[in-house]
């Protein structure tokens, strides 16, 4: 049986390969209190403005900031709809 025919072997190989990669820090916005979520959103907005990337991200860090800003907006909308 080849590795391709054995899903468990494929997963083991993948985990072994990915285990060497650096794991990024993850911020769970859903666990932040409202005031902290607002701070993260405002700080992200301010940083994008300072970098001149508010309208369009031109660097990898700008893209990360846009992703974080969008995630903040989604979480704030979720909280408003949950009432």
* pTM summary value: 0.69
Res 33: pLDDT: 96
pLDDT, one tens digit per residue, over 8-66 is 888 788 777 777 666 677 889 999 999 999 999 999 999 999 999 999 999 999 999 99
What is the residue extent of each domain of the chain? 25-82
Number of other residues whose CB lies within 10 A of the CB of residue 44: 19
Report d(CA 14, CA 27) in Å as an integer.
25
Q: Is the pLDDT of residue 72 over 80?
A: yes
Res 2: pLDDT: 56
Answer for the pair 75, 30: CB distance below 8 angstroms, yes or no: yes
Report d(CA 50, CA 44) in Å as an integer.
10
């Amino acid at each position: 049986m080849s590795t391709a025919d054995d899903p468990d072997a494929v997963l083991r190989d993948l985990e072994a390969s990915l285990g060497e990669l650096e794991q990024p820090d993850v911020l769970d916005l859903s666990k932040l209190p409202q005031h902290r979520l607002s701070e993260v959103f405002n700080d992200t907005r301010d940083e994008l403005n300072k970098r001149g990337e508010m309208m369009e991200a031109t660097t990898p860090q700008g893209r990360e900031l846009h992703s974080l800003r969008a995630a903040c907006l989604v979480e704030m909308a979720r909280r408003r709809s949950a009432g």
